[in-house]
Amino acid sequence: MTDRFRLTLAQLNATVGDLEENARRAKDAWDEARAAGADMVALPEMFVTGYSTQDLVMKPAFFVQAEETIERLARDCADGPMIGIGGPHYADDRLYNAYYILKGGRVVARALKHYLPNYDVFDEVRQFRRGPIQGVYDAGPLRIGSPICEDSWYVDVCETLVESGAEMILVPNGSPYYRGKFDRRMNAMVARVVENNVPLVYLNLVGGQDDQVFDGGSFVLNRGGKLAMKLPLFEEAIAHVDFQRGEDGWEAVEGEKAKLPCDFERDYHAMVVSVRDYFRKTGFAKALLGLSGGVDSAIVAAIAVDALGAENVRCVMMPSEYTSRASLDDAAKAARLLGVKLDEVSIAGPRAAVTDALAPLFEGFAPDLTEENIQSRLRGLLLMAQSNKFGEMLLTTGNKSEVAVGYATIYGDMAGGYNPIKDLYKTRVFATARWRNENHRPWMKGPAGEVIPEAIIAKPPSAELRPDQKDEDSLPPYDILDGILEMLVDGEASVADCVASGYERATVKRVESLIYTSEYKRFQAAPGTRLTKRAFWLDRRYPIVNRFRDPG
């Protein structure tokens, strides 16, 4: 019996619904594995369909074609290493999340997901049936068990597999990023290794899908939880891992261990990947955004350039009589530092026309928020017109603080197809802008050095919709606002909890009211990069009509 087993890990980016392309990418990985003398190539969870498919996977025409694609892949890869690949499986009028083992031109085994996640962004109980905990499969010199993603977080699945003879655990994953997720994964998988005394391979998907980013970071653990290999976060990679049989069983030969970046880099990389893949997978090549001279639009411009390249990003300044000279200069400098084209379209003429049109109806009413919102909506109209004319996707630029309390104009500055900073609080926007100015990485297509002028970061935020306007005229200071929001939104804390933490009750109640009354805006907002466990959309689902208020 041989004492060597080579496993090829294919940490790749699948596209939801592109069955043929996903299969082609799996075949390319198999070709590379065969050339490297591998015994098996492994791909992530649901790779043939992409992940997450949401309700698309329940469409019979889709899951039938997905299974046919896997069977065809098996035939095309008959002569060479076996393949592990995720996809749907339909049997006995039930649909399962499965991991297929392909060998000798056919499907020789399937693992069915047992624990179906039904929290945060996951709805797998809606989409799949729960499969039984199954046994192991023969991989030649050793036997492998493959708990699928969520299954590996439960003690009983891995324990059952090892008791059934598994000498290695191979975990295929479609695990999306949120801040702090990698450390949680690593701790959980170390626990499985210590409990079962066998090596474990954690293989994760990479790439953006709607609001989610799959961050890769696949790794291999030897007995005792010792790290043997780690692939990079957010980047595709194919790696060959050699396992050798020793006196105590199988062990991975140590390989490259990618550096784990800081939280700011992980968040920023996630936003860049999400924009890049959202554009690529929806068929857009070029981005458009309004560049106001504020920090939010400046950081979105930087993200867009890092994702798509300066030649594919166009910015537009749309001044009114309230736009300061400083904002015009700051926007021009930001565009120059990033190397993007900056056009200028004044809203003065359109605003005068709208004012004249509404004058008979508004006669006798004092100017108020209505007139401010008209300016924002004109900007949205002008940007969307350019998006339509030139085929550029409009990026919107509202941070999580604004999105939370509705400090944004629906059909105005909320217009757009994607919002990379939707899950980034304002205080975090400032810190991230400084991080980007101080750091550059090879995956960034933009220039090194300062790309967001310090003047933009340092000045008091303002929507500039009336004379001398400041955000703090309408909202608590952002350090206070964000602290309250992190408790009420991210932590689901009570008003009393916030007061006990030192916030004034009147301020907390005001923020709570703003959160609830702006739900209808979020319901219509563009999708954006998920960075936390409480991002607005699938993580936090509240009714639009809601009269509950915490008496606190």
Whether residues 204 and 142 fall in one domain = yes
Whether residues 236 and 269 fall in one domain = no
DSSP secondary structure letters along 292-344: -SSHHHHHHHHHHHHHH-GGGEEEEE---TT--HHHHHHHHHHHHHHT-EEEE
- Determine phi and psi for 112, rounding to 5 degrees: -110, 135
Q: Are 214 and 195 in contact (CB under 8 A)?
A: no
Whether residues 224 and 325 fall in one domain = no
* Bridge partners for 90 per DSSP: 95
Judge whether 438 counts as a catalytic residue: no
- Across the range 461-485, mean pLDDT stands at 85
Whether residues 55 and 143 fall in one domain = yes
CA-to-CA distance for 100 and 277, rounded, in angstroms? 26
In three-state secondary structure terms, 71 is helix
Q: Is 535 inside a domain boundary?
A: no
- pLDDT, averaged across the chain: 96
Q: Which amino acid is at 99?
A: Y
DSSP 486: I
Percent of the chain with pLDDT over 70: 99
CA-to-CA distance for 175 and 206, rounded, in angstroms? 9
10 Å CB burial of residue 551 (0-12, 13-18, 19+) is: exposed
Point out the domain boundary residue: 187, 218, 252: 252
Query: What CATH number should be reported for the domain holding residue 239?
Result: 3.60.110.10
Judge whether 124 counts as a catalytic residue: no
Q: Which residues contact 504 (CB under 8 A, 6 or more apart)?
A: none
DSSP 108: E
Q: Which residues contact 68 (CB under 8 A, 6 or more apart)?
A: none
Q: Is 51 inside a domain boundary?
A: yes
Give all strands (DSSP E) within 121-181, no chain letters: 137-138, 143-145, 168-173
Considering only 52-56, 318-322, 485-489, which range has the smallest mean pLDDT? Answer: 318-322
Whether residues 348 and 404 fall in one domain = yes
Q: The pTM is what?
A: 0.96
Point out the domain boundary residue: 231, 252, 273: 252
Number of domains in the chain: 2
| b/e map 473-498, b = 16+ CB within 10 Å | eebbebebbbbbbbbbbbeebbbebb
Point out the domain boundary residue: 425, 441, 471: 471
Q: Is 522 inside a domain boundary?
A: no
| Domain that residue 80 falls in | 4-252
Q: What is the pLDDT of residues 33-69, one digit of tens each?
A: 999 999 999 999 999 999 999 999 999 999 999 999 9
CA-to-CA distance for 386 and 414, rounded, in angstroms? 16
- Across the range 314-335, mean pLDDT stands at 92
Whether residues 391 and 301 fall in one domain = yes
Catalytic entry in 77, 149, 158, 498: 149
Neighbouring CB atoms inside 10 A of 386's CB total 18
Judge whether 315 counts as a catalytic residue: no
Whether residues 121 and 168 fall in one domain = yes
Residue 526 has pLDDT above 70, yes or no: yes
Residue (of 11, 42, 33) closest to 207 by Cα position = 11
Q: What is the CA radius of gyration of the chain?
A: 26
The full length of the chain comes to 552
Whether residues 347 and 248 fall in one domain = no
Whether residues 210 and 327 fall in one domain = no
Higher-pLDDT residue of 550, 474 = 550
Residue 237 has pLDDT above 80, yes or no: yes
Q: Is 358 inside a domain boundary?
A: yes
Catalytic entry in 103, 113, 400, 521: 113
Whether residues 331 and 443 fall in one domain = yes
Q: Is 465 inside a domain boundary?
A: yes
10 Å CB burial of residue 2 (0-12, 13-18, 19+) is: exposed
Q: Is 484 inside a domain boundary?
A: no
**Per-range mean pLDDT, top range of 65-74, 246-255, 538-547:** 65-74
Whether residues 240 and 270 fall in one domain = no
Q: What is the pLDDT of residues 174-232, one digit of tens each?
A: 999 999 999 999 999 999 999 999 999 999 999 999 999 999 999 999 999 999 999 99
Q: Is 506 inside a domain boundary?
A: no
Query: What CATH number should be reported for the domain holding residue 283?
Result: 3.40.50.620
What integer pLDDT is reported at residue 204 of this predicted model? 98
Inter-CA distances, 47 with 209, 386, 409, 452, 538, Å: 13, 36, 39, 38, 22
Going by pLDDT thresholds of 50, 70 and 90, the confidence category of residue 1 is low
Q: Is 216 inside a domain boundary?
A: yes
Whether residues 394 and 332 fall in one domain = yes
